[in-house]
Every structure is written in C-alpha cells, then in structure tokens.
C-alpha cells in the first residue's frame, strides 16, 4: 500500500498507509490526520480539504481539473501547488507522496 506523508503548518509530519483507489482526503480522515476538514465529504464543493503538494510530486499528481480550480478560489492562502485532497486519487506510483496542510481551512 502506498505511504502518504502529511506535514502540518507547524512542520509536524505523519506518514500513513493509503489504499490505492481512495483519495488523499479519505486517507487523512481515516487516519485522523489533523488539518483537513472535508466538510462536503469529497464532492469538490467545500475547499476545506486544501493541501499543498510537495514540489517533487506536482508532476506525478497532475494539475487540478477546472471544477476544482473554481473551488480552490474559496480556499485560504492558495499557491501554485494547491490541490483539493479529495480530488487526488491514490495510485501505486504515488507511494511516498508528501502533502502539506495549510495553517487553516476555508
């Protein structure tokens, strides 16, 4: 199973096992990773699952779809590597993925 590392705004890091086919958001919720609220449950309708994809992983993860881009406008402190974690589906080749959570959601 792929490992995903979440680093919070204070630099604290948590590495958890993810299920291939699930999303980064679902993995965070299942493992009680703080910093991701996911109010809409993964429907790309809340922007409270915002993460920053580590620079080394942005190409592998790929860009946001237009609908996700629109929703990211509602996120706090959006950067070029911002993504909504409910829209990142985990594949085996994302083993080792690093994402950072923002200081706050929404």
46 or 98: whose CB is closer to ligand FES?
46
Asked whether position 53 contacts ligand FES by CB under 6 A, the answer is: no
Nearest to 44 by CA among 71, 78, 81, 76: 71
Non-local (6+) Cβ contacts of 103 within 8 A are 9, 76, 77
Take residue 67 and report the two structure tokens written for it.
Answer: 């609908």
Q: How far is the CB of 85 from ligand FES (least distance, A)?
A: 6
Per-residue x/- track, 18-47, ligand FES (CB under 6 A): -------x------------xxx-xxxxxx
Q: How far is the CB of 87 from ligand FES (least distance, A)?
A: 7
Q: What's the rounded Cα separation, in Å, for the pair 48 and 50?
A: 6
Asked whether position 64 contacts ligand FES by CB under 6 A, the answer is: no
**Under the rule (CB under 6 A), what is the footprint of ligand FES?**
25, 38-40, 42-49, 71, 84, 86
């Amino acid at each position: 199973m792929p490992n995903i590392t979440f680093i919070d705004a204070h630099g604290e890091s948590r590495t958890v096992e993810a299920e291939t086919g699930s999303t980064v958001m679902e993995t965070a919720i299942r493992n009680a990773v703080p910093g991701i609220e996911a109010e809409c449950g993964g429907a790309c309708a809340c922007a409270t699952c915002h993460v920053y994809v580590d620079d080394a992983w942005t190409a592998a993860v790929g860009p946001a779809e237009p609908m996700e881009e629109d929703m990211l406008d509602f996120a706090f402190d959006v950067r070029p590597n911002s993504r909504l974690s409910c829209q990142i589906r985990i594949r085996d080749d994302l083993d080792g993925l690093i994402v950072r959570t923002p200081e706050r959601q929404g």
